[in-house]
Amino acid sequence: MLSLPPATPAAATPGTVTPAEPLPVPRTRIEGGLPVPVTDPLRIDPAADPILRLARASADPVPFRTAVADAVRRNPALDEATAQVDEAEAVRDEAEARALPSADLTFSSFEVLSRAFSNDPRNVLERSRPRNRTDALLRVQQPMVDWGASLSRIRAGRARLEAARAGVEDTGTQVALRAVSSWYQVYGYRVLVRLAEVFATGQRDLRTALERRITQGAAAAGDVAQVDGYIAAADTQVADFRRLLRGAEAQYVAVIGAAPPANLGRAPEPALAGVSTAGIAGDVDRLPTVRIAQAGADAARLDARASRADLLPQLGVGIDAGRYGVFETERDYDIRGSVTVSMRIGGGGEQRARQAAARASGADARLRRTRIDARRDAEIALSDVAALEAARTAIETNYVAARRARDVLAERFRVARGTLFDLLGAENNYFGVASRYIQTVIELDSARYALLARTGRLLPALGIAPATLDP
């Protein structure tokens, strides 16, 4: 193999321009920003790249889970769902109470202000009435035969109570998912703001290098205007990311109830063991939304059964006791037992039964639709995770290639063998790929938590027991 002799600087001759000597391109290092170019781009170690490490590092899970749990428990939506549980309990208790004996106690008192009767024998009864009297009446009634209407209403109340409790779990899941999304939005935009700030600083570093080239006579002064255009575009991106970050922080405060911590890091990657296409059908049936629809359908069918039973004859027994002249007499009373058979004919009973049957049919259809929608959402969430994992792998490869291309052109520019605009193009491409990589990592993590929510695993994964949400 032949070896070339070391190159020596050529002597300048009159009438020629001396080639520019290699000049270092000043670079500002900022923690958490884009890595500065290296002199040996082909030996870049992806494992040591600070951007790629973001997809492998995560913060302490305890502050993250604590923040999400606090957000769930202090959210007004959970209080609203809990109030619906209290209402459902009262409805169930009312249905149970209607099957028990009921008593009506009445006190009545009268005082005759004025009266006058003739001696006509036909008004002897009216003349014999006292001028004042106080009576006490007690009526106790117990339904004996209602063809299961009371039992159906009790069971319907219990079903609606189960639906309300499932509603608390569903509310907790939705609030937790919003809290997770708010956490990731703040983290992601903070990273992007740092990247954009470093990128804008790098553009200014290139402008400084260009000014040195101009003083050497190796670049035209008009190139500065084009570099200023790139700097302005970079500053615009910084402003956009800062605006989005402020919005994300405001959303964080609204959902979680406290300002995001300064050291907020990437949330831990959730485990997806056991989530598969084959198991989605079973997961869907355990979802709170499906359980709500199932309980609602059961309650509607029981209501329809009770409405049909109301059309049949009803049997009840009762006791009527009266004490007459409580203050005026010593012992005037009577006690009577009664058996009552009643049946309402007309009055819209048949139409009410038809309405209840139609509501039951609608509730069954709603249950089927809810199952279909829940399964579709779970399958979409699972496919999103798979697609984003593939996208992250591809973008990671693209990122390494873009960084190497940027570093190669930066080295060429440093030794005065590359053009400024090739380097600017490579810098812009590298920043765009790095930003897209960060966004993909955030989207993938968010999709994983969304998949847990769509399969009913989110609250347990966050250490929140659904039973503790309903005090």
pTM exceeding the 0.85 threshold for the entire prediction: no
**Full residue range of the structural domain in which residue 252 is found:** 41-110+131-469
Q: With bands split at pLDDT 50, 70 and 90, how would you rate the model's confidence at 158?
A: very high
Q: With bands split at pLDDT 50, 70 and 90, how would you rate the model's confidence at 78?
A: very high
- Overall average pLDDT of the 238-267 stretch: 93
- Overall average pLDDT of the 53-64 stretch: 86
The reply to whether 143 falls in a domain is yes
Phi, psi of 273 (to 5 degrees): -65, 135
The reply to whether 32 falls in a domain is no
The reply to whether 428 falls in a domain is yes
- For residue 37, give the nearest of 47, 46, 27, 45 by alpha carbon: 27
Q: Of all residues in the chain, what percent carry a pLDDT higher than 90?
A: 50
The reply to whether 115 falls in a domain is no
Is the pLDDT assigned to residue 15 strictly greater than 50?
A: no
CA 434-439-444 angle, to 5 degrees, is: 125
Can you say how many angstroms the Cα of residue 192 is from the centroid of all Cα atoms in its chain? 24
Q: Cβ–Cβ contacts within 10 Å for residue 364, how many?
A: 17
The reply to whether 5 falls in a domain is no
**In this predicted model, what pLDDT tens digit does every residue of 381-400 receive, in sequence order?**
999 999 999 999 999 999 99
- pLDDT at site 117: 66
Please give the mean pLDDT across all residues of the chain: 86
**In this predicted model, what pLDDT tens digit does every residue of 415-432 receive, in sequence order?**
766 677 788 888 899 999
The amino acid that residue 461 corresponds to is: A
**More confident call, 237 vs 123:** 237
Is the pLDDT assigned to residue 269 strictly greater than 70?
A: yes
Tokens standing for residue 58: 């995560």
> What is d(CA 174, CA 185) in angstroms, rounded to the nearest whole number?
16
**Look-up: residue for tokens 């959970």?**
78
Q: With bands split at pLDDT 50, 70 and 90, how would you rate the model's confidence at 2?
A: very low
The 132-145 sheet, strands edge to edge: 102-111, 132-145, 314-324, 333-342
Is the pLDDT assigned to residue 61 strictly greater than 70?
A: yes
Identify the sign of the CA torsion 459, 439, 38, 209. negative
The reply to whether 312 falls in a domain is yes
CATH number at residue 310: 1.20.1600.10
Write out the H or E segment, with its range, that includes residue 208.
helix 149-216
Structurally, how many domains does the chain consist of? 1
Question: CB within 8 A of 248, min separation 6: which ones?
Answer: 182, 185, 186, 188, 189
The reply to whether 431 falls in a domain is yes
The reply to whether 436 falls in a domain is yes
Identify the sign of the CA torsion 417, 420, 424, 429. negative
Residue 23: CA atoms inside 13 Å, Cβ hemisphere, count?
20
Encode 201-210: b = buried (16+ Cβ within 10 Å), e = exposed.
bbbbebbebb
- For residue 193, give the nearest of 434, 7, 456 by alpha carbon: 434
Q: With bands split at pLDDT 50, 70 and 90, how would you rate the model's confidence at 16?
A: very low
**DSSP for 279-326, written as a single string:** THHHHHHTSHHHHHHHHHHHHHHHHHHHHHHTTS-EEEEEEEEEEE-T
Q: With bands split at pLDDT 50, 70 and 90, how would you rate the model's confidence at 132?
A: confident
Encode 229-244: b = buried (16+ Cβ within 10 Å), e = exposed.
ebbeebbebbeebeee
Write out the H or E segment, with its range, that includes residue 95.
helix 76-98
> What is d(CA 285, CA 294) in angstroms, rounded to the nearest whole number?
9
> What is d(CA 428, CA 202) in angstroms, rounded to the nearest whole number?
11
Q: Is 369 exposed, middle or buried (0-12, 13-18, 19+ CB in 10 A)?
A: exposed
- For residue 146, give the nearest of 296, 317, 346 by alpha carbon: 317
- For residue 97, give the nearest of 142, 138, 127 by alpha carbon: 142
Q: With bands split at pLDDT 50, 70 and 90, how would you rate the model's confidence at 471?
A: low
> What is d(CA 120, CA 82) in angstroms, rounded to the nearest whole number?
70
Q: With bands split at pLDDT 50, 70 and 90, how would you rate the model's confidence at 13?
A: very low
Report DSSP state, residue 139.
E
- Overall average pLDDT of the 306-315 stretch: 90
Q: Hey, which bits of 45-201 come out as E strands? A: 102-111, 132-145
Tokens standing for residue 157: 């109340």
- For residue 227, give the nearest of 196, 195, 205, 212 by alpha carbon: 205
- pLDDT at site 237: 92
- pLDDT at site 30: 59
Tokens standing for residue 18: 């001396």
Q: Is 113 exposed, middle or buried (0-12, 13-18, 19+ CB in 10 A)?
A: exposed
> What is d(CA 422, CA 188) in angstroms, rounded to the nearest whole number?
29
